[in-house]
Structure 1
Amino acid sequence: MHRPIAQTAPVLLFDSGVGGLTVLEELRTVLPQAPVVYAADTAGLPYGTKTEAQIAARVSGLLGRLTERLNPRLVCIACNTASTIALGMVRDVLEVPIVGTVPAIKPAAAMTRSGVIGLLGTEATVRQAYVDRLEAEFAADKRLLRHAAPGLVEAAETKLRGERANPAAIASAVDGLRRMPGGDAIDTVVLACTHFPLLEEELTAAFGGGVRFVHGASGIARQVARLLEGQDFARVAPDYALTTAPDALPESFARAMARYGLADVRSV
């Protein structure tokens, strides 16, 4: 029997930090009437340097508590690292629709003309068997070059706070791909972390043109909209954000959230 869904029930959008705001932006385009709670696991950031066991336990535990507290109509894990590791486990334990985020290898394979695709992600994402399966299914006749770029996570968080993104982190990510055998032929780059689209302008400049970027934010938003088609929505209060930070976050973080319509930031 399906549980009744209140009109005020939110979409729970979960990420390790601010990267999921790129998904929120797309979701508001296709489903502006849906109330949203944005949950940022700022105390657990960064995920990419943690073990699979640590990430799986943390994500499933947090989402279990949040769904019990918020009773959301749907949970969107707007984080590639969390999705590639914990999506199956979360779907097994939560009785609510779950939408995950996976590297956009399929559209990248359709876009590339040179046949060489770069992939930038966290250390945890680039080593996942899930990515191996996506490559085998959608890019078997292409060359996929993966590079872990953990510095881009902090660079994106910094930029969103209104500060300059670390140019060394941008250069290191681009050089890491270009130096791989065949890297000079890359014409399409998968941004396999929801933080990374925040740096597309800087990455474009560093690659020097001729490279197209692809990420999954718009596709994720469309999938959420498909799953919620026909449901009734009522936003009785502004959307808000939750963070796991044990202490007050910097004012710059609050300003960044406010720019995305999340002026109210609360602790989990």
Structure 2
Amino acid sequence: MDQHSPILLFDSGVGGLTVLGELRALLPQAPVIYAADMAGLPYGAKSEAEVAARVAGLLGRMAERYQPRLICIACNTASTIALGMVRDVLETPIVGTVPAIKPAAAMTQTGVIGLLGTEATVRQRYVDDLERQFARECTLLRFGANNLVALGEAKLRGEEVDIDDVARAASGLVLQDHGERLDTVILACTHFPLLEAELREAFGAGVGFVHGAGGIARRIASLTEGQSFARSAPDFAVTTGDLDDFKRLAPAFAQLGIEDLRPF
């Protein structure tokens, strides 16, 4: 393995920065390329066929161009829909992002847990399988809160985010039967931890939150254990969307050691 070979973090937008932050803590020496499919955002409102074709196509081109040692799909929607397909067509090791149902089931005291994701994520059979495997004794409430994606992106751009907007976007979770007993919420979109402070205020002190960023970083570290890392150039980020708009996110990237933003 070439010690300069990067880890490629791919997301529909910049929610994957939550994963990058955890990865920096574990593997600060690892070269990273962050890829944001801003032109395809949001994935949560797209059909499964659209997401699968887009993710597989982009990652195929990125794998050829950047020759990464590992690809992390830092997006729950893309992972629950396209992870199997991408693994079938690429030889590069792939780490996906899946809803943290197992740790949520271990945390809950009331037995009622909530899955807050995009509309596309919450309806996937993959989620059904995780529920059967890890939360059989729990009541799992699901809600697709697509509007939280845009609010998370806005917060990273330095825009003011109204707590009432966050509460409205997530309110469908607690308005369901058994919602009054909800005590644990799974943030099943990498954008949502960006709004954890606002979500805590919206849901109240009796509700805890769990997401998978730390577990994803640990999985990447495990799969690359024993490999050598070295940078031949500074890390960078690429976008499929408008570069000027992407550069509005420069301060957020700079906090995580990425100052070079490019078009893909």
TM bucket (normalised to shorter chain) is over 0.9
Structure 1 residues 233-248: aligned runs within 5 Å: 233-248=229-244
> 1:132 aligned to 2:132?
no
Deviations for 1:112-137, whole angstroms, at most 9, x for unmatched residues? 00000011000100000000000000
Pick aligned residue for 1:68 from 64, 69, 76: 64
Q: State the 1:165 CA deviation.
A: 1.9
Cα separation, 1, equivalents of 2:64 and 2:78? 20
Q: What secondary structure does 1:145 align onto?
A: strand
Cα separation, 2, equivalents of 1:49 and 1:170? 18
Contact 1:147 1:173 in 2 (8 A): no
Q: Tell me the residue number matched to 1:204.
A: 200
Pick aligned residue for 1:191 from 181, 187, 192: 187
Q: CA RMSD in A?
A: 1.1
Cα separation, 1, equivalents of 2:13 and 2:243? 15
> 1:227 aligned to 2:223?
yes
Structure 1 segments unaligned to the other structure (5+ residues): none
Q: Tell me the residue number matched to 1:35.
A: 31
Q: Which amino acid aligns with 1:208?
A: G
What is the number of equivalent residue pairs in this alignment? 264
Q: What secondary structure does 1:38 align onto?
A: strand
Q: State the 1:236 CA deviation.
A: 2.1
The normalised TM-score by structure 1 is 0.96
Q: Tell me the residue number matched to 1:85.
A: 81
Q: What secondary structure does 2:237 align onto?
A: strand
Contact 2:163 2:202 in 1 (8 A): no
Q: Tell me the residue number matched to 1:59.
A: 55
Contact 1:160 1:256 in 2 (8 A): yes
Q: Which amino acid aligns with 1:146?
A: R
Q: What secondary structure does 1:248 align onto?
A: helix
Q: Which amino acid aligns with 1:170?
A: V
Contact 2:31 2:229 in 1 (8 A): yes
Structure 2 segments unaligned to the other structure (5+ residues): none
Deviations for 1:161-197, whole angstroms, at most 9, x for unmatched residues? 1111243431123421111000010100000000000
Cα separation, 2, equivalents of 1:218 and 1:239? 21
Pick aligned residue for 2:141 from 142, 145, 148: 145
Cα separation, 1, equivalents of 2:231 and 2:8? 14
Q: State the 1:251 CA deviation.
A: 4.1
Cα separation, 2, equivalents of 1:251 and 1:243? 10
Cα separation, 2, equivalents of 1:91 and 1:153? 26
